[in-house]
Amino acid sequence: MNKTKRIIFEAAISIFSKAGYNGATMDEIALEAGVAKGTLYYHFKSKEEIFNFIITEGINLMHEEIDQVKDLEGDALFKLKEVCKIQLSFLYKNKEFFKVIMSQLWGQELRQFELRNQLQKYVYSIEVYIKEASDTGLIRKGDTSFLAYAFFGSLISAAIYEILNIDKINLENIIDNLIDYNFRGLQINKS
């Protein structure tokens, strides 16, 4: 991403997170980015094109970080813990981006379908580790696609918890609890 697009990317996330998609304008994005309106239109033809760009690029940044996990030594549960750590850290550092995603997840507009499509690809990268954990007997067998979405959903919930309780949380404890509850359940072990 070139320097101008990076500036527009960051400005658009800021404006979309404050004003929402419908409240954001190209003028506000240009002003926030510190670029002429013509420069903005040179790179993007519409607000929807900017939105799709920030979603695609933002999720690609998450993918790049998650892709590093595959090269780590350790079993699938260790790798899932690393996925937790990466995603929760990423979402915490990029709260405005997270807010944009959450605000546009539902609906029937083309941008919302595109967002869900991008998230689906991201969840698939999580499913790879869940399938590996299932295949190696670290977790019980089940619908790995469903488990990946459930795992992703619990990561989103944990991110919300983390953001709302930042002054009293420990990221390692959140990750350990997330893994424990996701793969060992809520049921008390009766010995």
19 shares its domain with 76: no
137 shares its domain with 175: yes
Question: What pLDDT score does 181 carry?
Answer: 83
Q: Which of 10, 27, 45 is the last residue of a domain?
A: 45
179 shares its domain with 85: yes
CA gap 152, 64 in Å, rounded = 17
33 shares its domain with 119: no
40 shares its domain with 60: no
Residue 50 forms part of a structural domain: no
Residue 156 forms part of a structural domain: yes
Residue 191 forms part of a structural domain: no
Question: What pLDDT score does 191 carry?
Answer: 55
CA separation, residue 3 to residues 14, 38, 73, 129 (Å): 17, 16, 35, 34
- Provide the CATH number for the domain around residue 13: 1.10.10.60
Number of domains composing the chain: 2
3-state SS of 54-82?
A: HHHHHHHHHHHHHHHHHHCCCCHHHHHHH
* Contact indicator for 88, 65 with CB cutoff of 8 Å: no
The number of angstroms, rounded, from the C-alpha of 127 to the middle of its chain's C-alpha atoms is 15
- Provide the CATH number for the domain around residue 89: 1.10.357.10
CA gap 12, 55 in Å, rounded = 10
92 shares its domain with 137: yes
5 shares its domain with 97: no
- Tell me the pLDDT of the chain averaged across its residues: 89
Tokens of 166: 């930042």
95 shares its domain with 19: no
65 shares its domain with 132: yes
Alpha-carbon dihedral 152, 131, 114, 3, rounded to 10 degrees? 80
16 shares its domain with 66: no
User: In 94-143, which residue ranges form alpha helices assigned H by DSSP?
Assistant: 95-104, 110-135
CA gap 43, 64 in Å, rounded = 24
Residue 189 forms part of a structural domain: no
Q: What is the pLDDT of residues 72-112, one digit of tens each?
A: 999 998 898 888 888 888 887 888 999 899 899 888 999 99
Question: What pLDDT score does 20 carry?
Answer: 93
Residue 80 forms part of a structural domain: yes
Looking at the chain, the whole-number percentage of residues with pLDDT higher than 70 is 97
Q: Quick one: pLDDT band at residue 186, thresholds 50, 70, 90?
A: low
130 shares its domain with 172: yes
pTM (predicted TM-score): 0.83
- Looking at the predicted structure, is the pLDDT value of residue 61 above 60? yes
CA separation, residue 61 to residues 26, 66, 94, 164, 180 (Å): 24, 9, 11, 24, 27
* Contact indicator for 47, 24 with CB cutoff of 8 Å: yes
Segments forming the whole domain that contains residue 18: 1-45
